[in-house]
Amino acid sequence: MDIGSSPEEMRFREECREWLHANVPAEKRPLDAADAIDFDKAWQRRLFDAGWAGINWPTDYGGRGLSIVQQVIWLEEYAKAHAPWIGANFVGINHGGPTLILNASEEQKAYHLPRILKGEAIWCQGFSEPGAGSDLAGIKTRGRIEGDELVVNGSKIWTSFAHVADWQELVLRTEEGSLRHKGLSWVICDIHAPGITVRPIRKMSGLTEFAEVFYDDVRIPLANVVGGLGNGWKVAMSTLSFERGTGFIADQVKQSQEIEELIAKARANGMIKDDRIADQLAQMRAEVAAVRAMTYRNISEVVRTGQPGPEASVIRLFTSELGQRLERMAVLLMGEDIIDFAYGSDDAVGDYLRGFAATIAGGTAQIQRDIIGERLLGLPKSR
């Protein structure tokens, strides 16, 4: 696929650049989720008011109704402009909203999608559980049907932004006795509902970005089920495809910038003369180009089918592991400056520490390899 080469796309790219040049905040986004929530909401509202939120979302729900290619152009220019990470809006914008567009009822779309785009509603993801981790089919949190409600009991863990969220994309077991991927439902959960306890988890970086969530007889209207009772596995697969595919385009653009900055830094401090470092930098530059090519291929698939396929797991795995290699190299190139390290004073060290989560969040590296083996290569199931 040739991204951004038509006259219309070139004009759109220039429009993106001009707006970003004039509007990217000068102040840095706070690192901790609780400290950053006002910043995240204000920046998302600014994007919405200017027409830059939901570029390929339907116009009926506040988007611009443009193409996925124009969405990619926007994300590329966004990263090049060093615009701030959308932070707490990540789940709603990158996979919660797209999942609703693909699977939800008109009433669900009309209520939630505009609020996500405006930054008025923060979403979190309720997939991972203690004892199940990234094994979505191992979910034990249950929803018992009583009248027109689900009564939910169980717990989730590693829930990013749960302590600042308003809504949750919650996957739970709604058929008694069901096993693995059968009998699951994808539900819109009000995170402020009675019976929900959110306990933030502090990471080794000192920051609090995710949490444990406990459900004690939480009542959720059946009207909040997306895609129908028992169809949660199918809906969740679309969520994960968005999360693992188009949701990380900005990260890949950032990686393109990072490798060039690392090469420039190695030249400046003389470490490029070390053949091992030069070889590693060259290898990573080639890998960055490879993952961009895979992403463009995946976008072609989205244009054809309307959603990413299991190939998104290749991109997710490759991007996360490449990111960790880039972050290790950035710390290595700090040389003796690492001795004076104080967290928060150097982005390289903070990125290195945060990078350990990259091959766990959104499905571990092993889960991605299982998907690649089973669904793309046709290998036997690992379990």
User: How many of the other CB atoms lie within 10 Å of CB of 109?
Assistant: 19
For the domain covering 245-377, report its CATH number: 1.20.140.10
CA dist., res. 73 & res. 211, Å (int): 33
* Ranges in the chain annotated CATH 2.40.110.10: 123-232
pLDDT of amino acid 133: 66
Residue (of 183, 49, 47, 187) closest to 112 by Cα position: 187
At 346, which amino acid appears? D
Q: In whole angstroms, what is the distance from residue 222 CA to residue 328 CA?
A: 47
pTM above 0.75, yes or no: yes
> Could you identify the residue written with the tokens 């070390």?
274
Cβ neighbours of residue 230 under 8 Å, at least 6 residues apart?
Answer: 174, 175, 182, 183, 184, 185
Task: Please say whether the structural domain 123-232 has been given the CATH code 3.40.50.620.
Answer: no
Catalytic residues: 243
Q: What is the largest CA-CA distance in the chain?
A: 71
Contact (Cβ atoms closer than 8 angstroms) between residue 253 and residue 296: no
Q: Please say whether the beta carbons of 156 and 141 come within 8 A.
A: yes
Domain with CATH 1.20.140.10 in the chain: 245-377
Phi, psi dihedrals of residue 108, rounded to the nearest 5°: -65, -45
Each residue's pLDDT expressed in tens, for the chain with a length of 383 residues: 566 678 898 999 999 999 999 999 988 888 888 888 999 999 999 999 999 998 989 999 999 999 888 888 898 888 889 899 888 999 999 889 999 998 999 999 999 999 999 999 999 999 889 877 667 788 899 999 999 999 999 999 989 899 999 999 999 999 888 878 889 999 999 999 999 999 998 877 677 888 999 999 999 999 999 999 999 999 988 887 776 656 567 777 778 888 998 999 999 989 999 999 999 999 999 999 888 888 877 777 777 776 666 777 888 888 888 988 998 999 888 876 666 655 544 577 777 877 777 777 767 778 788 888 888 888 887 66
Angle at which helix 106-118 crosses helix 33-49, to 10 degrees, equals 110
CATH topology of domain 7-118: Butyryl-Coa Dehydrogenase, subunit A; domain 1 (1.10.540)
Pairing of strands 196-202, 208-221: antiparallel
User: Helices in 184-274 by DSSP H: which ranges?
Assistant: 232-244, 249-269
Place of tokens 């089919």: 137
CB 199 within 8 A of CB 69: no
Residue type, 47: L
